[in-house]
């Protein structure tokens, strides 16, 4: 089964304690598509400007990523810049230049419309709603962020009513529900729409809430995190890609999918930007999956 992703494709400038990259390939849809394309064909719906390097398109074309829904608009590509602290859970956004993203409206080509699995990356909830008019997807995953929780809460709640799964971090969950206790918060969030809540807790792994079930997945112990940018989107790509690959969303498959999400996220953190994610294959994924098993079996 195919997956469609709608989100940002960006040129990122990132500083971490390990170094700096400038105008590197980034964006939520990019990380998602690179991760999910290890499992299934991905239809990418996004926009880039005239300055978007051909080599980045070629990198995606070498994988089962369909770029028919990638619009080429006049102007510059969306740019984002961030700096991480020594504590890599803390980052400052230094600059966001929307550029061609400012006038973006998702347009799903026929193949993207017919994908059964859809991931709505972190964009304005009004744009996420536009996607529902164009899709026949039966399983929809969602990402969002603080600016939409604060700036467009009612539209976001409308989106929430229509999705099956949300992938969210602890700060966003607290902000969205007003509940400090994360377990109560996740339960409240389920009542707003998504029966599946995946709560990301960075280096402490994640919790899956599916119906009444709770599953705790570890994070991979990494001696050096070079750049966590896109880890969340890579997680979402591994998670949704695994579900689509098996075309099942029962709790046993969801547990496996959470581990695959964690595997892909761990690869992304190993190098800057998409460097590591773009080079891994099935053997790397299988080896790290086994490492996760060993880590959590007792
Ligand atoms: P994450 O580390 O999972 O938060 O994802 C970081 C990616 O999201 C970067 O590659 C950015 O280009 C992209 N990004 C940052 N801010 C935004 C935004 N406001 N809208 C869409 N994408 C964004």
Could you tell which of 8, 12, 148 is best to mutate to test the pocket of ligand 1, judged by most ligand atoms within 8 Å of the CB?
8
Beta pairing class for 3-6 and 42-48: parallel
* Chain centroid, CA 204 distance in Å: 18
Beta pairing class for 206-210 and 213-217: antiparallel
pLDDT value of residue 203: 82
Look up the pTM and report it. Answer: 0.97
Q: Atom 20 in ligand 1: which residue has the minimum CA distance?
A: 123
What is the mean pLDDT of the segment spanning 23-27?
Answer: 98
Which structure tokens are listed for 24?
A: 């590197």
Q: Using the mean position of ligand 1's atoms as its centre, give its distance from the Cα of residue 54 in Å.
A: 21
Q: Is 230 in the pocket of ligand 1 (CB under 6 A)?
A: yes
DSSP 133: T
**135 φ/ψ angles, rounded to the nearest 5 degrees:** -125, 150
Q: Is 122 in the pocket of ligand 1 (CB under 6 A)?
A: yes
**What are the DSSP E strand ranges found in 38-183?**
42-48, 65-66, 70-72, 79-84, 91-97, 117-120, 139-142, 165-169
Q: In this structure, what is the dihedral angle of CA atoms 178, 261, 52, 280, given to the nearest 10 degrees?
A: 160
Measure the N-to-C terminal CA separation of the chain; round to a whole number of Å.
34
Query: CA-CA distances (angstroms) from residue 118 to 95, 236, 240, 267, 288?
Result: 29, 11, 8, 23, 26
Which structure tokens are listed for 298?
A: 């007792």
Nearest atom of ligand 1 to the alpha carbon of 273: 10
Q: Is 27 in the pocket of ligand 1 (CB under 6 A)?
A: yes
- Note the pLDDT tens digit of each residue in 183-203: 999 999 999 999 999 999 888
State the chain's mean pLDDT as an integer: 97
Could you tell which of 5, 6, 11, 28 is best to mutate to test the pocket of ligand 1, judged by most ligand atoms within 8 Å of the CB?
28
Could you tell which of 122, 232, 233, 268 is best to mutate to test the pocket of ligand 1, judged by most ligand atoms within 8 Å of the CB?
122
> What is the C-alpha separation between 199 and 197, in angstroms, rounded?
6
Number of Cβ within 10 Å of residue 125's Cβ equals 23
Q: Using the mean position of ligand 1's atoms as its centre, give its distance from the Cα of residue 27 in Å.
A: 5
pLDDT value of residue 38: 98
Q: Which residue has the tokens 């980045």?
A: 56
Query: CA-CA distances (angstroms) from residue 45 to 111, 124, 127, 205?
Result: 11, 14, 12, 29
What is the mean pLDDT of the segment spanning 288-297?
Answer: 94
Q: Using the mean position of ligand 1's atoms as its centre, give its distance from the Cα of residue 294 in Å.
A: 32
What is the mean pLDDT of the segment spanning 26-35?
Answer: 98
* Chain centroid, CA 94 distance in Å: 21
* Nearest of 38, 8, 188, 266 to residue 199 by alpha carbon: 188
Nearest atom of ligand 1 to the alpha carbon of 233: 3
**What are the DSSP E strand ranges found in 242-295?**
none
- Note the pLDDT tens digit of each residue in 70-105: 999 999 999 999 999 999 989 999 999 999 999 999
- Report the CATH number of the 3-296 domain: 3.40.1190.20
3-state helix, strand, coil in the chain (%, to 5): 40, 25, 35
Q: Is the pLDDT of residue 285 over 90?
A: yes
Confidence of residue 126 (pLDDT cuts 50, 70, 90): very high
What is the mean pLDDT of the segment spanning 223-230?
Answer: 95
Q: Is 12 in the pocket of ligand 1 (CB under 6 A)?
A: yes
What is the mean pLDDT of the segment spanning 246-265?
Answer: 98
């Amino acid at each position: 089964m195919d997956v469609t992703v709608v989100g940002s494709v960006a040129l990122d400038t990132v500083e971490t304690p390990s170094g700096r990259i400038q105008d590197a390939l980034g964006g939520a849809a990019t990380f998602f598509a690179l991760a999910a394309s290890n499992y299934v064909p991905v239809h990418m719906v996004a926009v880039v400007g005239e300055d978007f390097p051909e080599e980045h398109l070629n990198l995606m074309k070498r994988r089962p990523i369909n770029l028919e829904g990638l619009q080429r608009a006049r102007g510059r590509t969306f740019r984002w810049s961030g700096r991480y602290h020594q504590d890599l859970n803390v980052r400052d956004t230094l600059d966001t230049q929307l550029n061609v993203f400012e006038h973006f409206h998702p347009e799903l080509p026929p193949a993207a419309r017919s994908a059964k699995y859809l991931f709505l990356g972190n964009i304005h909830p009004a744009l996420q709603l536009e996607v529902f008019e164009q899709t026949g997807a039966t399983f929809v995953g969602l990402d969002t962020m603080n600016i939409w929780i604060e700036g467009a809460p009612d539209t976001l709640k409308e989106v929430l009513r229509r999705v099956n799964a949300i992938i969210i971090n602890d700060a966003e969950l607290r902000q969205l529900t007003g509940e400090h206790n994360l377990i109560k918060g996740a339960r409240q969030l389920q009542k707003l729409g998504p029966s599946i809540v995946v709560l990301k807790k960075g280096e402490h792994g994640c919790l899956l809430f599916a119906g009444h079930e709770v599953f705790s997945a570890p994070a991979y112990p990494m001696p050096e995190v070079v750049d966590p940018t896109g880890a969340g989107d890579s997680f979402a790509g591994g998670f949704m890609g695994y579900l689509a690959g098996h075309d099942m969303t029962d709790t046993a498959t969801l547990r496996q999918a959470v581990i695959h999400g964690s595997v892909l996220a761990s690869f992304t953190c190993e190098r800057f930007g998409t460097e590591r994610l773009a080079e891994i294959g099935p053997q790397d994924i299988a080896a790290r999956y086994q490492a996760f098993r060993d880590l959590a079996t007792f």
